[in-house]
Amino acid sequence: MRGRNRMKVLITGGAGFIGSHLAERLLKDGHEVFVFDDLSTGDLDNVHHLEGNPKFHMKVGSVLDRDALEPLFAEADLVYHLAAAVGVNYVIENPLQSLTTNIRGTEIVLELANRKKTRVLIASTSEVAGKKNGKVMFSEDDDRLLGPTTVTRWNYSTSKAVDEMLGLAYWREKKLPVVIVRFFNVIGPRQSPNYGMVVPRFIKQALLGHPITVYNDGEQKRCFTDIEDAVDGLLALGEHPEAPGEIFNLGGDADTNEISIKSLAGKIKNLTESDSPVEYVPYEKAFAKGSYEDLNYRVPDLTKINSFTGYEPSVSLDMTLRKIIEYYES
């Protein structure tokens, strides 16, 4: 967004992994940034290096607190709504809070944004597609296939799908400029291993010499996205005139970044020169009974975002892993 007039940008969840990198880039481009975060999964350490910038403003609070959010929306020219309950472990352990934060929080954001018709980018997830059959890339308009409501893991997928529907309803009925962004396994420095994120968990285990724990048989495939590529996509969608009312996959290059979890563990073991053994843990031992089902294949079709913005991810998985390892070792 370098070519645009300088803006006041609000990032809910801005002290989190993705939000802190986005704030960093927006400030670098000369924008004024307002971060709002309850620090449930975010961390002040993620934005500590930004505190000396006079254009950076940090406020601690819950996205469920309308009164705390209201003055920030009065200032904002653009909103990135990243605040959410995230991470498999967190969602499984806190199902009610996760549903409330993700759904009611988004409702409040949309209600406040609608007052001035402020553009909102809503962070969604590849998990909304659910248990797609076959090894076919996910596109934005694919059918969804979910597990039963008794399995807690599907709370996250369902809550983010409701967020998407709310955003699209505001666009269709009230002409609020809403853009939906589905992230595919974004990774990079500052991502915490504490909430079930696989890459930082593997790297931490490898560096500490602990067993690298792979769930089930490790044949699940993912396509990882470097955080800098993800920020590039967010900035491009933040200014594209035809993006409102649309859903976009935002992910990595399948040619370089698609990998099985078993192979990922081996790659991280080699890059860290670790002696850690790789251990395979059945789902029923890793998670409470009846709380978890996995997705065997999750790779994005990036045709749409490329056609709108020219987005092409450029950072390979090996490059990203080396950056994360260096971050943990520093």
| DSSP secondary structure of 34-64 | EEEE--SS--GGGTGGGTT-TTEEEEE--TT
| Residue spans per domain, the chain | 8-186+225-254+293-314
Asked if residue 127 has pLDDT above 70, the reply is yes
What token pair was written down for 13? 């969840």
Whole-number Cα distances in Å, 232 to 25, 42, 227: 9, 21, 9
Task: Label residue 330 by pLDDT band (50, 70, 90).
Answer: confident
Task: Label residue 194 by pLDDT band (50, 70, 90).
Answer: confident
Q: How much is the CA Rg of the chain, to the nearest whole Å?
A: 19
Dihedral angle over CA of 152, 158, 163, 165, nearest 10: -160
Asked if residue 4 has pLDDT above 70, the reply is no
Q: What is the mean pLDDT of residues 212-227?
A: 95
Asked if residue 2 has pLDDT above 60, the reply is no
Cβ–Cβ < 8 Å for 138, 252: no
Which pLDDT score is estimated for 89? 78
Which pLDDT score is estimated for 3? 47
Residue of 156, 195, 297, 311 marked active site:
156
Q: What is the mean pLDDT of residues 15-29?
A: 98
pLDDT of 304-319, one tens digit each? 999 999 999 999 999 9
Whole-number Cα distances in Å, 166 to 37, 94, 101: 21, 23, 14
Q: Where are the alpha helices (DSSP H) in the chain?
A: 17-28, 66-75, 88-93, 95-114, 154-174, 198-208, 227-239, 254-257, 261-271, 283-286, 303-309, 317-329
pLDDT of 34-87, one tens digit each? 999 999 999 999 999 999 999 999 999 999 999 999 999 999 999 999 999 887
Instruction: Output 295 or 300, whichever has higher pLDDT.
Output: 300
Which pLDDT score is estimated for 134? 63
Task: Label residue 135 by pLDDT band (50, 70, 90).
Answer: low
pLDDT of 229-255, one tens digit each? 999 999 999 999 999 999 999 999 999
Measure the CA–CA gap between 125 and 157, rounded to whole angstroms: 7
Which pLDDT score is estimated for 291? 80
CB neighbour list of residue 296: distance below 8 Å, 6 or more residues apart: 131, 219, 220, 221
Which pLDDT score is estimated for 31? 98
Whole-number Cα distances in Å, 150 to 88, 95, 218, 287: 16, 11, 24, 14
Helix axes 95-114, 154-174, angle to 10 degrees: 10
Which one is the CATH code of 8-186+225-254+293-314: 1.10.3720.10, 3.30.420.10, 3.90.1150.10, 3.40.50.720?
A: 3.40.50.720
Which pLDDT score is estimated for 295? 80
Measure the CA–CA gap between 194 and 271, rounded to whole angstroms: 22
Asked if residue 1 has pLDDT above 70, the reply is no
Which pLDDT score is estimated for 293? 83
Whole-number Cα distances in Å, 307 to 129, 243, 302: 21, 11, 9
H-run or E-run covering 124: strand 119-125
Dihedral angle over CA of 140, 143, 147, 150, nearest 10: 80
Cβ–Cβ < 8 Å for 127, 163: no
pLDDT of 145-155, one tens digit each? 888 999 988 99
Q: What is the mean pLDDT of residues 11-26?
A: 98
Measure the CA–CA gap between 249 and 299, rounded to whole angstroms: 10
Task: Label residue 256 by pLDDT band (50, 70, 90).
Answer: very high
pLDDT of 260-287, one tens digit each? 999 999 999 999 999 999 999 998 888 8
Query: Hey, which residues does 259 pair with through a beta bridge?
Result: 222
Examine the residue annotation and report whether 280 is marked as an active-site residue of this protein. Answer: no
What token pair was written down for 284? 């029923």
Secondary structure letter of residue 149 according to DSSP: T
What token pair was written down for 27? 């400030």
Beta strand 186-187 with 225-226 is parallel
